[in-house]
A and B are shown apart, each in its own frame.
Chain A
Amino acid sequence: MTMSIYRRRTTPASTALQAQQDKEDLERIFPLLSNYIQEVLVESLINPNGWTIPPNWLPPATDPASTPLPGLDKRTDLVIQYRDESSLFVNPGHVLHRGAFRRQTLDEDTNILRVVNAAASLLVAAACQPATPGNSGLDPDTWYYCYYDLTVATTYPGIVVCPTPPTREEGYGPELEAEGDGLMRYAGAFRTGPAGDAEILPYHRNEDGQFLWRERRLGPYLWQNPEDNLVSVATGGWVEVDLSEFVPPTATAVFLTAVAWDNNSLQIRAKGDTGANSGFDWRARDGGDSWGIG
């Protein structure tokens, strides 16, 4: 006897609820074939881009058109890295979102990491104006914010560069909604150098959102050049230090080093964090330098 199993049609508009009903119906009829049924369901969940979405990534949303699906709204492995003064590169990974699952693979033409020209990717629109009107390149001394554009026709996500920062504090969710039809996702910031070159300042970004400067002037080795020091005089008490040239407003934490000598000490705290046991106290050893990261 030949037996055929017909499942409900599952589309992005019907998605999880019917898929769950399919699964329960089939497991009730064929309990010994539950593993096989799981495979059927996996293959049945196809989104408009043609990618398969495992059912366990789909939350039990009853109104997929309006309910945020946080389980799909995340990225894995995808990091936008500094390549050179004018371009970035993207390693393979995924961008997930309800109804749109984009896989960033190797570049189709060269089979190397995908290269993104930052100026060519600049979004110039009403909601995203450059500091210099009409400027088609990168402005100097400016934080730029990268977004994955999931509205593009390609299988991999588009990369958009924009001087407008993201608005969602959790780091996930639609950004630049006026431009991207709710399908822009924040990917991380970079900064340009001083006027005259407007080049991308070198950095390395880890998969967990950690951004490390590669500029030597920001490391501890040039501490013998006082003019390069962020602070070179006794402060006479607590003073405010503006780090906005080195830290974007999207940052949740900052990593610092300090170099001192001969039992010298330095206290650091978040602005206004005046409570007991707050901040950090660094002290150098007698007769030697020391440094620390807080």
Chain B
Amino acid sequence: MTTQNESPKEESSTFVRPKKKLDWRMIAIRSGVAAGVTILVCIFILRPMIINGSSMMPTYSSRGFTFGFLPYFKMYAPQRKQIVILKHAGFNTFLLKRIIALPGETVEIREGTVYINGKELEEPYVKYPCDWNMSHREVSKGKIFVLGDNRSMPMENHMGGLINQNRLAGVPIW
């Protein structure tokens, strides 16, 4: 129930702000700075990427989207089974692959099963049948051996294998 004493209180809490003129110059400067920072972040730290191709299926489907965290390998060393983004060639093409073997290790594929230093590698992420064979080879210093998760195509049609470690660009954030 409203009493007579409460009414003046309510009125006193409402007030009208004086209409402020928009400072377009400040809006333009702030928008410019925000756009610049966003562009720099997208180029050097979190690069938006569209996944094109089926070589990482079913982990990543074609036409998927992710962000690449680019400074990752400035802080951490690459590890086996890690999904990585690799610089291919040119400015705008990257490869999304999984690290299988590291420098100094030997890798071999028999009937689709990968062996690292002669020991079978467990790969729960490989869901499609694979019948690849690759003779024993050593991963030399400064290189890594990468493969996609989808190995259902013939090996000649799959972009994988040895790549220079300096082409590691980052990791996907999901």
Partners in one complex: no
A contact set with B: CB distance below 8 Å: none
